[in-house]
Structure 1
Amino acid sequence: MLGRVRFADREIGGARPRTLLAALLLDTNRMVTVDRLVDALWDEEPPASATANVRTHIWTLRRLIGDTATLVSHPGGYELVVPEDICDLHLFTRSTDSGRAALAGGEPERATKLLDRALGMWSTDRAAADVPRHGWVAARLTHLDEERRRTVEDFAESCLRLGEPRAALRGLAALLAVDPLRTRSWALRMRAHHLLGERGGVSETVREATEAFREYLGSPLDGELVRLHEEICRGRS
Structure 2
Amino acid sequence: MLRLGEAAVVKIVLLGPVEAMADDASSVDIGGVRLRMLLARLALEGGRPVLVDTLVDGLWGADSPAEVGNALQALVSRLRKALRGVATLESVAGGYRLSVRDEDVDAHRFEELAARGRRELAAGRADEAASLLGAALGLWRGPALADVLDAPFARTVATRLDDVRAAAAEDRFDAALRLGRYAEVLTDLEAAGAESPLSERLAGLRMKALSAAGRQSDALAVYEETRRRLGEELGVDPSAELQDIHMALLRGELTTPTHRPEAAAPSRLPAQPDELRRPGPRTGPGRRSAGLLPARHRRRLRRRRQDPALPGGRDPAPGL
In the superposition, the TM-score normalised over structure 1's length comes to 0.87
* Equivalent residue for 2:118, pick from 86, 100, 116: 100
Higher Rg of the two aligned structures: 2
Code of the residue aligned with 1:102 in structure 2: it is: E
Structure-2 residue corresponding to 1:182: 199
Identical amino acids, percent of aligned pairs: 36
Stretch moving more, 210-219 or 153-162: 210-219
Q: How far 1:115 moved relative to its partner?
A: 0.6
Matched, 1:62 2:80: yes
Structure-1 residue corresponding to 2:99: 81
Call closer, same or farther: CA 1:175–1:61 in 2, change over 3 Å.
farther
Matched, 1:232 2:245: no
Cα offsets for 1:39-87 (capped at 9, x unmatched): 1112433221222222222222222223222211113211111144432
For residue 96 of structure 2, give the secondary structure of its aligned residue in structure 1.
Answer: strand
Call closer, same or farther: CA 1:177–1:38 in 2, change over 3 Å.
farther
Structure-2 residue corresponding to 1:53: 71
- Structure with the greater relative contact order (CA < 8 A, sep ≥ 6): 1 or 2? 1
Cα offsets for 1:12-32 (capped at 9, x unmatched): 443322222111111021001
Matched, 1:36 2:54: yes
Judge conservation of contact 1:39–1:134 (CA < 8 Å) in 2: no
In the superposition, the TM-score normalised over structure 2's length comes to 0.66
Cα offsets for 1:81-116 (capped at 9, x unmatched): 114443212321232222122212221111111111
For residue 154 of structure 1, give the secondary structure of its aligned residue in structure 2.
Answer: helix
Q: How far 1:218 moved relative to its partner?
A: 4.4
Q: How far apart, CA to CA, are the structure 2 residues paired with 1:122 and 1:224?
A: 30
* Equivalent residue for 1:24, pick from 42, 54, 57: 42
Judge conservation of contact 1:156–1:188 (CA < 8 Å) in 2: yes
For residue 44 of structure 1, give the secondary structure of its aligned residue in structure 2.
Answer: helix
Structure-2 residue corresponding to 1:158: 175
Structure-1 residue corresponding to 2:33: 15
* Equivalent residue for 1:144, pick from 153, 158, 161: 161
Structure-2 residue corresponding to 1:213: 230
Q: How far 1:215 moved relative to its partner?
A: 5.0
Pairwise CA RMSD of aligned residues?
2.4
Call closer, same or farther: CA 1:11–1:176 in 2, change over 3 Å.
farther
Q: How far apart, CA to CA, are the structure 1 residues paired with 2:223 and 2:122?
A: 27
Judge conservation of contact 1:15–1:132 (CA < 8 Å) in 2: no
* Equivalent residue for 1:3, pick from 16, 34, 40: 16
Q: How far apart, CA to CA, are the structure 2 residues paired with 1:219 and 1:106?
A: 31
Q: How far apart, CA to CA, are the structure 2 residues paired with 1:17 and 1:104?
A: 41
Stretch moving more, 159-168 or 173-182: 173-182
Call closer, same or farther: CA 1:62–1:101 in 2, change over 3 Å.
same
Judge conservation of contact 1:32–1:77 (CA < 8 Å) in 2: yes
Structure-1 residue corresponding to 2:305: none
Judge conservation of contact 1:103–1:158 (CA < 8 Å) in 2: yes
Q: How far 1:170 moved relative to its partner?
A: 5.8
Judge conservation of contact 2:44–2:105 (CA < 8 Å) in 1: no
Higher helix share: 1
Structure-1 residue corresponding to 2:146: 129
Call closer, same or farther: CA 1:106–1:222 in 2, change over 3 Å.
closer
For residue 63 of structure 2, give the secondary structure of its aligned residue in structure 1.
Answer: coil
For residue 167 of structure 2, give the secondary structure of its aligned residue in structure 1.
Answer: helix
Q: How far apart, CA to CA, are the structure 2 residues paired with 1:94 and 1:41?
A: 26
Q: How far apart, CA to CA, are the structure 1 residues paired with 2:187 and 2:77?
A: 43
Code of the residue aligned with 1:162 in structure 2: it is: L
Stretch moving more, 98-107 or 110-119: 98-107
Q: How far apart, CA to CA, are the structure 2 residues paired with 1:181 and 1:39?
A: 35
Code of the residue aligned with 2:144 in structure 1: it is: A
Judge conservation of contact 2:58–2:153 (CA < 8 Å) in 1: yes
For residue 7 of structure 1, give the secondary structure of its aligned residue in structure 2.
Answer: strand
Q: How far apart, CA to CA, are the structure 1 residues paired with 2:225 and 2:146?
A: 29
